[in-house]
């Protein structure tokens, strides 16, 4: 990337250029801006900022009811927030704009880089610089004349060693006076970076595809109930944009039994559920053999391309209701909705089949009923120790025939006449299992037959999920590769000194962040001197670059060059380093720098 | 079915936590003493050097001290050090071709840029490290007994996140100390560990207990442990980035001929070395955070049926990830390295802290497992 960055800095200030640009030039200018690293950085930071409000305000996709309530509670600014989509942050125009721009920018960056990298991988390492001593890592070796290794053999040896080390090597001017080689390795770094960024696009596309072709729904199952995966089988269903009902495979799930374990050990958490286990019988399709399975939290069922999750549970009191005519108008479990501690739940029973008048009940179910001195009832334990139903009753027209859908958990009593209520003479109805109550005025009766448990399940189908995972894994692999593979270049030049010794100099350059370059230089030095039997002194002698003092020397040079007034004064930094090492007077295996 | 609870173990654990906090407090004092003492000695060395160099050097006095005290020691350390894997004070940011004046090594600087141990002995620092090791051992006992008491991994509620998180932070710090002389971060890391332990014991105390069913998954072990380790690394880089800002300000002041008011900062390597090392640690932590995010998504898919739902905790995990991605980009963007990158690293860490404290306690979401 550094090249790209460098290129940028050379271009003149955009403002200065603007007036002279034609429409095409404008477009090109906009594109260059959009695909620049600076813009990418800006968009990334903007994305981070833009994601925050979604955690501050309630979000519609997660919880529409809370959003409605929030708008009601804040009449002053509630609807203003809505108009700028702060309740739908992640599908809002502005959030989408940021990430779409980011990804356009990313594509605009990835494609040219991929092409450039493809070319780089096929081309030879760059030509040998005239002054190797200017490279960040530089060192020299001297092969004695009597070793019988001429300059051309030395360069061949070095080429062999570097090839073994994974470098791509190009030898230049092998039989000339100054043979040299250029070597490069670590092309995977850039590949990793490209894979990483491309995989991010893959993740985004997979998520979008999941939204298009997936679906999800909910269903409540009382013990004994069976869910069949058809549209009518769902209590609630949310199709993706491109959903077709033929996608549903008609598998079935029957809830046989549901068990909860409550914490009876720890003090602070006494009575908290610590295990939910649903025993179910499943069939892949109506004709398939039945299979016993266990459904737990964190352990969904996989059926017909969907996953079935255990997301809720509660009690369902079983009641029998007779109408004024003495007929059974309703019989079965009623799902009680959790309201408070210890399964304190609300109950709504609507009996549209009751004759002559429709009946309705609303009240509470308590698994372990307690009543305080003040007459407030609460549930003392989640388990069925003293189950109790306390209900008010009503009669009249339930309005169910009008056809408009009603919430089964809510009862609109406006058009109904109360029969039993705490503030009436008749008082409320209080039932224990096995007991029954006869309604006033011969309206009928209700009996509390027993209690079952129910579970809530979520069913999801998301075809994008697997691809999102694959791309995410690719992204991580790319990331790790690009962070930990180092791209390096090595140049070696050899020559023969007038006195017959073979002089070798080498330099290393890293592309991108590479804190192990000095280590690599030392390793290469060691390999070369071992190969030429230069002995330990050359291998570990004072000449290799990796020493803090040498580095500081270099640093000081750099700062002098950029006009720093820093404390570089102690070293005499030569403005013209190493004219020619090979014909220098270097008598031993000392690097120029250390003289 | 979960293991049963062992209250006695839980009580032992709390005792260990208190002992660890006490030991850390002494270690903290030793680290602070080290900073104070070293800055004094170093100042004395400087004064002597200034005297010696006489009137001619007077104008330059502020810039001279470089090589004198630890400079020689640094050279020492470097000589004995063949593998040299660090950025080793190479005053160049590998991704930007030109080095800038304010990043040049030197100017009122004593600590070794490669963050290797120098030859000179710092007795209080040694005592501090020894005490930290002792504290960490006791702390480890606390974490382990907590795990035994609850019969599961000790990270299921805020109390446990804090106590285990503090342990991991200290352990990571000690591990890095093996290779790098980061003792100048001691007051910060140990101070933070003490705060975490105290906060856990006072504000977030929770007796040993079972996990709610939603947390009973091997993903808890994988996802949370990686998150805690990445956070520990982010903690180190946060401290280094903060010091980097101070140090680069100080370097600039001194280079401009100003007085060196922050003597203890001599113990701290130059701004560029701090930046380079914190970049490397941040890169590791970023990979860790990527895994945290991914494994979190996989777990969310298992537990809630969707891998991403913009739950508050997910939002903040994402924000953190994007901020650190921004940080990595900043290091490759001209004009954004150095101070600005340090700010990004700091902002990222503030988000981590926010995600851990405020989001856990005050934001409702599916992740409301703080145990409160
Ligand atoms: C707008 C489009 C983007 C462009 C032009 C872009 C460009 C780049 C470049 C050039 C690098 C290499 C830096 C180096 O050489 O050190 C890089 C690294 C990185 N990018 Fe992006 N990027 C973009 C979007 C993103 C996005 C959306 C993310 C994720 C949120 C991301 C995350 C990363 C990470 C984590 C790295 C560091 C890993 C590495 O060095 O390979 N980038 N990016």
Measured between beta carbons, the chain B residues lying within 8 angstroms of A296 are 213
Q: Kindly report, residue by residue over A193-217, the tens digit of the pLDDT.
A: 999 999 999 999 998 888 788 888 9
Question: Confidence band (pLDDT; 50, 70, 90) for B143?
Answer: very high
A106 lines ligand 1 (CB under 6 A): yes
Q: pLDDT tens digits, residue range A216-235?
A: 899 999 999 999 999 888 98
Q: How confident is the model at residue A277 (pLDDT cuts 50, 70, 90)?
A: very high
Contact A279, A258 (CB under 8 A): yes
| Dihedral-angle region of residue A549 (phi above 0 means left; psi in -120 to 50 means alpha; beta otherwise) | alpha
Q: Provide the pLDDT confidence category of residue B214 given band limits of 50, 70 and 90.
A: confident
Q: Give the pLDDT confidence score for residue B367 in this predicted structure.
A: 55
* Predicted interface score ipTM higher than 0.90: no
Spatial distance between the Cα atoms of B237 and B274, rounded to a whole number of angstroms: 9
| Closest CA of chain A from B356, distance in Å | 14
pLDDT at A304 over 80: yes
The token pair at A373 is: 């001195």
Question: Which atom from ligand 1 is nearest to the alpha carbon of A4?
Answer: 10
Cβ neighbours of A276 in B, within 8 Å: 213
Q: Mind listing the pLDDT tens digit for each residue in A461-510?
A: 988 889 999 999 999 999 999 999 999 999 999 998 888 889 999 999 98
Structure tokens at A444: 């009928």
User: What HEC string does A385-454 produce?
Assistant: CECEEEEEEEEECCCHHHCCCCCCCCCCCCCEEEEECCCCCCCCEEECCCCEEECHHHCCEEEEEEEEEE
Break chain A down into helix, strand, coil percent, rounded to 5.
Answer: 35, 30, 35
pLDDT, mean over chain B: 78
pLDDT for B112 = 62
Ligand 1 atom at minimum distance from A109 CA: 5
Three-state SS for B356? helix
CB contact under 8 A, A558 and B92: yes
Q: What does pTM read for this prediction?
A: 0.81
Dihedral angle sign, alpha carbons of residues A87, A93, A94, A96: positive
What local confidence, expressed as pLDDT, does residue B111 receive? 58
pLDDT tens-place string over residues A144-159: 888 888 889 999 999 9
- Evaluate if residue A581 carries a pLDDT over 50: yes
Q: Work out the minimum CA distance from A113 to partner chain B, whole angstroms.
A: 15
| pLDDT for B154 beyond 70 | yes
Give residue A402's pLDDT band: very low, low, confident or very high (50, 70, 90). Answer: low
Measure B27 CA to nearest chain A CA, in Å: 31
Task: Answer yes or no: is the C-beta of A474 below 6 A from any ligand 1 atom.
Answer: no
The reported pLDDT for the residue numbered B157 is 85
Mutate which of A2, A38, A40, A114 for ligand 1 pocket (most atoms within 8 A of beta carbon) = A40
- Tell me how long chain B is: 372
Confidence (pLDDT) at B233: 93
Place of tokens 């979520």: A458
For the Cβ of A483 lying below 6 angstroms from any atom of ligand 1, the answer is yes
Q: Could you list the beta-strand ranges (E) of chain B.
A: none
Residue A335 or A426, more confident:
A335
- The pLDDT value recorded for residue A31 is 80
pLDDT for the residue numbered A20: 64
Contact B164, B227 (CB under 8 A): no
Q: How far is the centre of ligand 1, averaged over its atoms, from the C-alpha of B336 (Å)?
A: 14
Q: CA-based angle A560:A564:A568, to the nearest 5? A: 55
> Å from B74 to nearest chain A CA?
8
**pLDDT tens figures, A110-134:** 899 999 999 988 888 888 998 898 8
Contact A555 B104 (CB under 8 A): yes
* 8 Å CB contact of A551 and B98: no
Of the listed ranges A312-316, A428-432, A535-539, B64-68, the least confidently predicted one is B64-68
- List, as own/partner pairs, every contact residues B251-256 make where C-beta atoms lie below 8 angstroms and the sequence separation is at least 24, other chains included: B251/B102, B251/B107, B251/B108, B251/B109, B252/B102, B254/B62, B254/B63, B254/B107, B254/B108, B255/A564, B255/A565, B255/A566, B255/B63, B255/B101, B255/B102, B255/B107
Pocket test for ligand 1, best of A31, A110, A191, A196 (most atoms within 8 A of CB): A196
* Residue B75 contacts A where some CB pair is shorter than 8 Å: yes
User: What is the structure's pLDDT at B223?
Assistant: 92
pLDDT at B82: 29
Mean pLDDT along residues A325-339: 90
Q: Which of A82-86, A215-219, A238-242, B20-24 has the highest mean pLDDT?
A: B20-24
Which comes out higher in pLDDT, residue A529 or A245? Answer: A529
- How far from chain centre, in Å, is Cα A469? 9
Residue for token pair 């549930």: A379
Does the distance separating the beta carbons of B333 and A460 come in below 8 Å?
no
Ligand 1 pocket residue status of A196, Cβ below 6 Å: yes
Q: Decide if A268 and B323 are in contact by the 8 Å CB cutoff.
A: no
Q: What percent of chain A has pLDDT over 70?
A: 86
Kindly list the distances between the CA atom of residue A525 and the CA atoms of A49, A125, B77, B95, in Å, as whole numbers in the listed order.
Answer: 49, 20, 21, 25
Pairs of CB atoms within 8 A across A/B: 253
Q: Six-digit token pair at A564? A: 């720093």
The pLDDT, as a whole number, for residue B113 is 62
Interface of B with A in 108-127 (CB under 8 A): 112-114
- pLDDT surpassing 80 at residue A100: yes
Q: What is the pLDDT of residue B257?
A: 80
Contact A50, A98 (CB under 8 A): yes
In chain A, residues with a C-beta closer than 8 Å to the C-beta of B66 are: 567, 570
The pLDDT of residue A572 is 36
Distance of CA B167 to the CA centre of its chain: 12
How far is the C-alpha of B289 from the C-alpha of B284, rounded, in Å?
9
Any idea which of A410-424, B32-46, B71-85 has the lowest mean pLDDT? B71-85
- Name the residue at shortest CA distance from atom 4 of ligand 1: A106
Q: Is the beta carbon of B284 within 6 A of some atom in ligand 1?
A: no
Q: Are residues A337 and A362 in contact, defined by beta-carbon separation less than 8 angstroms?
A: no
Mean residue pLDDT of chain A comes to 82
Which residues make Cβ contacts (< 8 Å) with residue B298, sequence separation at least 6? Answer: A469, B219, B307
Q: Is the dihedral of CA B116, B261, A555, B69 positive or negative?
A: negative
Q: Quick check: A567 and B63 in contact, CB under 8 A?
A: yes
Query: What's the token pair of residue B242?
Result: 């903060």
| Count of helices and strands (H, E) across chain A | 14, 24
* pLDDT at residue B106 in the model: 42
8 Å CB contact of A566 and B255: yes
End-to-end CA gap in chain B? 23
Any idea which of A407-416, A526-535, B100-109 has the lowest mean pLDDT? B100-109
Give the model's pLDDT for residue A254: 94
pLDDT band, very low/low/confident/very high, at B68 (cuts 50, 70, 90): very low
Strands A168-172 and A180-185: antiparallel
Using alpha carbons, select from B127, B296, B333 the residue that is nearest to residue B222: B296
Interface test with A, best of B157, B310, B311, B343 (most A CBs within 10 A): B310
pLDDT recorded at residue B42: 67
């Amino acid at each position: 990337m550094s090249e790209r960055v460098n290129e940028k800095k050379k271009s003149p200030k955009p403002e200065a250029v603007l007036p002279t640009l034609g429409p095409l030039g404008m477009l090109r200018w906009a594109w260059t801006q959009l695909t620049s690293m600076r813009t990418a950085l800006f968009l990334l930071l903007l994305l981070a900022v833009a994601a925050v409000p979604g955690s501050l305000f309630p979000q519609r996709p997660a919880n529409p009811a809370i959003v409605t309530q929030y708008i009601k509670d804040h009449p002053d600014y509630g609807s203003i927030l809505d108009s700028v989509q702060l309740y739908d942050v992640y599908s809002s125009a502005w959030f989408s704009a940021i990430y779409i721009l980011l990804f356009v920018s990313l594509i605009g960056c990835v494609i040219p880089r991929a092409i450039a990298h493809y070319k780089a991988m096929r081309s030879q390492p760059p030509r040998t610089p005239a002054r190797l001593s200017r490279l960040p890592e530089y060192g020299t070796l001297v092969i004695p004349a009597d070793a019988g290794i001429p300059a051309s053999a030395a360069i061949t040896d070095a080429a062999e060693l570097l090839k073994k080390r994974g470098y791509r090597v190009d030898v230049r001017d092998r039989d000339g006076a100054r043979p040299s080689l250029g070597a490069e390795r670590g092309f995977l770094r850039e590949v990793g970076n490209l894979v990483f960024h491309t995989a991010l696009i893959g993740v985004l596309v997979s998520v979008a595809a999941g939204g298009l072709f997936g679906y999800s729904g909910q269903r409540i199952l009382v013990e004994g109930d069976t869910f069949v995966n058809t549209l009518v089988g769902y209590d609630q269903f949310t199709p993706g944009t491109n959903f077709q009902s033929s996608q549903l495979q008609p598998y079935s799930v029957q809830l046989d039994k549901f068990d909860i374990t409550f914490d009876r050990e720890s003090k602070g958490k006494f009575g908290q559920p610590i295990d939910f286990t649903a025993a179910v019988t499943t069939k892949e399709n109506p004709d398939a053999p039945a299979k016993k399975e266990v459904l737990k939290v964190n352990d969904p069922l996989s059926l017909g391309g969907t996953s079935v999750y255990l997301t809720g549970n509660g009690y369902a009191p079983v009641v029998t209701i007779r109408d004024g005519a003495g007929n059974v108008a309703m019989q079965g479990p009623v799902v009680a909705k959790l309201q408070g501690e210890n399964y304190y739940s609300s109950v709504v029973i609507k009996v549209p089949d009751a004759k002559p008048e429709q009946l309705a009940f609303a009240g509470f179910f308590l698994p372990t009923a307690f009543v305080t001195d003040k007459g407030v009832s609460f549930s003392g334990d989640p388990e069925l120790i003293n189950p109790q139903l306390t209900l008010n009753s009503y009669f009249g027209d339930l309005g169910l025939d009008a056809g408009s859908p009603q919430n089964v958990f809510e009862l609109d009593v406006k058009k109904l006449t109360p029969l039993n209520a705490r503030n009436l003479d008749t008082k409320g109805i209080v039932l224990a299992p096995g007991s029954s109550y006869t309604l006033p005025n011969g309206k009928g009766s209700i009996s509390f037959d027993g209690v079952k448990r129910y579970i809530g399940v979520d069913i999801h189908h998301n075809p994008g999920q697997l691809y999102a995972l694959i791309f995410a894994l690719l992204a991580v692999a790319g990331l790790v590769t690009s962070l930990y593979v180092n791209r390096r270049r090595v140049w070696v030049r050899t020559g023969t000194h007038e006195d017959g010794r073979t002089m070798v100099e080498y330099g290393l350059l890293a592309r991108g962040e590479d804190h192990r370059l000095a280590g690599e230089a030392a390793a290469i030095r060691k390999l070369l001197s071992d190969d030429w039997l230069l002995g330990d002194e050359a291998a570990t002698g004072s000449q290799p670059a990796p020493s803090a003092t040498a580095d500081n020397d270099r640093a000081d040079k750099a700062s002098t060059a950029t006009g720093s007034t820093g404390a570089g004064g102690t070293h005499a930094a030569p403005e013209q380093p190493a004219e020619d090492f090979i014909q220098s007077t270097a008598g031993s295996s000392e690097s120029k720098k250390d003289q | 079915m979960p293991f049963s609870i062992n209250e006695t173990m839980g009580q032992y654990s709390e005792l260990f936590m208190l002992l660890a906090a006490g030991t850390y407090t002494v270690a903290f004092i030793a680290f602070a003493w080290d900073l104070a003492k070293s800055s004094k000695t170093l100042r004395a060395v400087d004064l002597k050097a200034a005297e010696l160099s006489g009137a001619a050097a007077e104008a330059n006095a502020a810039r001279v001290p470089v090589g004198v005290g630890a400079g020689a020691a640094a050279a020492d350390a470097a000589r004995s050090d063949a593998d040299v894997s660090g950025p080793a004070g190479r005053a160049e940011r590998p991704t930007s071709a030109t080095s800038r004046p304010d990043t040049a090594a030197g100017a009122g600087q004593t600590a070794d840029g490669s963050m290797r141990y120098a030859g000179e002995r710092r007795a209080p620092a040694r005592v501090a490290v020894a005490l930290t090791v002792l504290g960490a051992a006791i702390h480890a006992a606390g974490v382990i007994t907590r795990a035994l008491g609850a019969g599961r991994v000790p990270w299921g509620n805020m109390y446990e996140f804090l106590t285990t998180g503090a342990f991991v932070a200290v352990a990571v710090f000690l591990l890095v100390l093996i290779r790098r002389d980061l003792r100048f971060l001691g007051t910060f890391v140990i101070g933070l560990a003490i705060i975490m332990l105290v906060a856990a014991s006072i504000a977030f105390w929770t007796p040993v207990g079972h996990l709610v069913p939603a947390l009973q998954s091997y993903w808890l072990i994988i996802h949370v442990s990686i998150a805690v380790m990445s956070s520990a690394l982010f903690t180190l880089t946060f401290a280094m980035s903060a010091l980097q800002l101070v140090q680069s300000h100080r370097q600039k002041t001194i280079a401009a001929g100003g007085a060196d008011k922050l003597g203890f900062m001599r113990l701290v390597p130059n701004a560029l070395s701090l930046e380079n090392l914190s970049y490397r640690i941040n890169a590791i932590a970023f990979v860790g955070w990527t895994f945290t995010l991914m494994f979190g998504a996989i777990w969310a898919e298992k537990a809630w049926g969707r891998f991403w739902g913009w739950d508050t905790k997910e939002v903040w995990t994402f924000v953190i990830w994007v901020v650190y991605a921004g940080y990595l980009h900043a290091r490759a963007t001209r004009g954004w390295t150095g101070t600005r990158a340090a700010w990004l690293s700091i902002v990222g860490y503030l988000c981590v802290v926010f995600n851990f404290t405020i989001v856990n306690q005050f934001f409702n979401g599916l992740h409301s497992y703080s145990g409160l």
